[in-house]
Structure 1
Amino acid sequence: MMREFMALDRNLKLRALTVFLTVLLGSSIGPNMTIYYVQHFGSFWTGVLLMVVSIAGLIFGLYGGHIADVIGRKRTIEYGQIAMVIGYAIAMVNNSPWLVNPFVTFFGFLLAMIGSSLADPAEQAMMIDSSTPQNRRFVFALIYWILNIGVMIGAAIGGWFFRDYLFELLLFMTIVPIINYCIVRFGMTETLERSEHEQTTSILSALKGYWAVLKDRRYLTFAMASVLASVVYLQPDYYLAAHLSQSFHEYNFLGMDIYGQRMLSLMLVFNTVIIIFVMGWVTRATEKWRLVRAFALGVLLQGGGFALSFVLQDFWPLILATIIFTTGEMIGVPASQTLRADMMNPAKIGAYSGVFSVTRPIGAVIASGFVSLSAVVNNWGIAALLMMVVCLAIYLVARAAKMPAPF
């Protein structure tokens, strides 16, 4: 593995480092911000605010995908990092020992989300540009593995320090995009090959650029399925976090008091530990499966595990639910990534990446709606709704797989 890593393009090696730094602190704060908002604004308004953030992420993700094909991957990422620095700095100042303002904190995180969404398509495009068909599977597996290590450490940090040391966490969160900006600015090289066709950064130009992708019915169907799959994947940041903060029965484990926030962190840590140590075995066991079959089983188990966790309130049953949804994640994620790569037009990777980048924000809008909806329906209703989302995602992927390629 080390030999393959050393043979990678320099951009990919540095990308691995920036992913780790971003995820490390992002996962210590991101999931817990839902709890923060619930405490200050209540469940309904928390859902509304999270929906606003998700819509902003969708819009700027699309625009970021376009300008990455116009001004370059590198400059787009740099602009995103600058916005993240400003956003996290605002949130830090408004959660200091001298000042606490949740309304301005929300604005800071909104700006940081805009920066992250702007940079994401460019980062994905740069990874594809810098990799080859021969090493691309290894590259994505490596990034996924690093991401999970970052999540494991970050979730542990958040669970133990978020409540009492939010200011310090936000201080480090402000420093990370500064470090990443320097890595991109001085360490990475531009990978965009300039098009012969003149393009501008205007909104109209962006709309024209995406029109060709939107006419690809097969990819559009798969993208809709990916939106629904992300609704399932994002539950720890949304309804699961709210459910545990309000309903979890406190438990003493190995002398530690486990309350809702810490239970969420423990579930995420356990999820990541399983992935790190079991992912290789699961991949070998399922490598000959048809992609659609693997996706269907993976999403079904993942969604079923989360739905089960919505109606549970005790420590050990929630650990069992974690095992179930983690197993589904390990089966479904590789299949989903492979299907996505197979359905992209190689001549328009940037535009296709831009379209795919908005599937997560759209999914986040729907997932945030679950939080607001929970104010009028019970846990069983939310669990049933999630399983309906799972079934529709499976149907759409199966349908997309049967469509002929348009290129």
Structure 2
Amino acid sequence: MFRELHPNIKIRIYTSFLSRLVGSMVFPFMAIYFAREINAVTAGILLLIQVVVQFLAGFYGGYLADTRGRKKVMVAGEWMKVISTAGMILVNSPWYTSAWVTFVMLVLLGISMGIGNPAAEAMLVDVSTKETRTMIYSINYWTINLSIMLALIIGGWFFESNFFELLLSLLVISIFILWITKAKIEETYVPEEKSPHSFSLKPIFSSYVSVMKDVPFMLFTIGGIAILSIEFQRNNFMAIRLEEEIPKQMISIWGSIPIEMTGVRLISLLTVENTLLIVLLTATVNKWLKNKSEQRLMYIGFLVFGSGYSFLAFSNNMAVLMIAVFIMTIGELIYVPTRQTIIADMVDESRRGAYMAVNGIVFQAGKIFGVLGIMVWEAVGGIGMAFLIILFALGGVLFSRQAIVRRSQRPVYIAKKMT
């Protein structure tokens, strides 16, 4: 079945795996880089700026993909990746280092991803069918988790000592992806007539106004932001906290193999545990979820997820942290599929593209709150952050429930459910 897929799909899966494999060796640890080179508060501000810029570029990239074609926008995004990565190498070499120029290059990289990713996702939809999409996204999900797991093992061990070499590997892969995108990807969408206002912000905003007026959907989106805000604490304040609070120490694996453990390596190990559990337990948990109340399970998943993360906010005991990751992963496996199913029922089918674009706010806003967590942690400490994480989990439950209740009270929605 995989062999029969459109070449664009196979190329995208391969390049996505490679891009995440090398990217995840570097970018999850950039909070530590800026905290070390400047300070923790400034690191939070810089990463917040980068996330906001990427967020805005994402809306613009989706609009350009519909007015300029998928391949042109994807190639432009890949060119920007190559340029930004090359710039990061020049200012993090053995001969010269500049954290501020690194930040500028990181912003450019964020713009490249914001512009290119919507076009790539739209291209996958263009060349797939209803029958093949489940398989495509399932394969993509597995490759994402596998690439992240492998990358974090490597990055956690080599980020501090071999940052320059990791950036070189990122550049090589970026050049390869640029070449294969330009040479092998086929254009899947040619606009009948290019809009004379393609580069104007006004038509972008007007296309999303009707979605923003859908109060139940926006409440559901806010609930999702609350939950994703918890998840994005791991590579921000939690990474910095463990790097500062976990001293270098020798530990033994299976009682005989000594290895040096640091805070950076520990956060890498915990992330690998989370990813590995997702890969191993997804099928089992999904089977258990069948024929059960999706709403109730989603709320349970939110609370279990938040509870596990709350321990990661303050504990320095390795055993406690690993148990917390297990608890958090179970919550994640419960809420992710149930929330996706519920949101599919909430979307107006006649404007699905606009609705799903707005739903993308969940990811980017979660990243923004994740970065803000660095500054909040400086003020309230680990225990205070644990309390806030529980509040965010409760907020996810309350906003999502209010959204579902309001949607169910709409006559159109009720009539749809009765048919």
Partner of 2:39: 42
Q: How does 1:279-318 map to 2 (within 5 A)?
A: 279-318=282-321
Task: Measure how far apart 1:34 and its partner are.
Answer: 0.9
- 1:352-402 CA-to-partner distances (Å, cap 9, x unmatched) read 343233332222111111101111112111111111111111222223334
Is residue 64 from structure 1 mapped to residue 58 from structure 2 by the alignment? no
Is residue 213 from structure 1 mapped to residue 211 from structure 2 by the alignment? yes
Partner of 1:74: 71
Task: Measure how far apart 1:250 and its partner are.
Answer: 4.1
Partner of 1:358: 361
Whole-Å separation in 2 of the counterparts to 1:275 and 1:223:
24
Q: Do 1:125 and 1:350's aligned partners in 2 also have CA atoms closer than 8 Å?
A: no
Partner of 2:114: 117
Is residue 225 from structure 1 mapped to residue 201 from structure 2 by the alignment? no
In structure 1, what residue type is equivalent to 2:301?
G
Is residue 324 from structure 1 mapped to residue 327 from structure 2 by the alignment? yes
Q: 1:342 to 1:22 in 2, by over 3 A?
A: farther
1:258 to 261, 275, 298: 261
Q: Which moves more between the two structures, 20-29 or 283-292?
A: 283-292
Q: 1:126 to 1:37 in 2, by over 3 A?
A: same
User: What is the DSSP-based 3-state SS (H/G/I as helix, E as strand, rest coil) of the residue aligned with 1:160?
Assistant: helix
In structure 2, what residue type is equivalent to 1:174?
L
Q: 1:160 to 1:63 in 2, by over 3 A?
A: same
Whole-Å separation in 1 of the counterparts to 2:190 and 2:391:
43
1:55 to 47, 52, 56: 52
Q: How does 1:8-407 map to 2 (within 5 A)?
A: 8-192=5-189, 194=191, 198=195, 200-251=198-249, 252-254=251-253, 255-402=258-405, 403=407, 404=410
In structure 2, what residue type is equivalent to 1:312?
S
Q: 1:128 to 1:290 in 2, by over 3 A?
A: farther
Gap regions ≥5 residues in structure 2: none
Q: Do 1:66 and 1:209's aligned partners in 2 also have CA atoms closer than 8 Å?
A: no
Q: 1:351 to 1:339 in 2, by over 3 A?
A: same
Q: Which moves more between the two structures, 185-194 or 114-123?
A: 185-194
Q: 1:345 to 1:80 in 2, by over 3 A?
A: farther
Q: Do 2:67 and 2:194's aligned partners in 1 also have CA atoms closer than 8 Å?
A: no
Task: Measure how far apart 1:150 and its partner are.
Answer: 0.5
- Number of corresponding residues: 404
Task: Measure how far apart 1:193 and its partner are.
Answer: 6.5
- 1:313-333 CA-to-partner distances (Å, cap 9, x unmatched) read 021111111111111222222
- 1:266-322 CA-to-partner distances (Å, cap 9, x unmatched) read 111111111112211111111323332332222222222111111110211111111
Q: Do 2:21 and 2:150's aligned partners in 1 also have CA atoms closer than 8 Å?
A: yes
Whole-Å separation in 2 of the counterparts to 1:123 and 1:351:
16
Give percent identity, aligned residues only: 28
Q: 1:197 to 1:342 in 2, by over 3 A?
A: farther
Q: Greater relative contact order (Cα 8 A, min sep 6): structure 1 or 2?
A: 1
Indicate the structure (1 or 2) with the bigger Cα radius of gyration: 2
Task: Measure how far apart 1:60 and its partner are.
Answer: 0.8
**Root mean square deviation of aligned Cα:** 2.2
Whole-Å separation in 2 of the counterparts to 1:112 and 1:369:
20
Gap regions ≥5 residues in structure 1: none
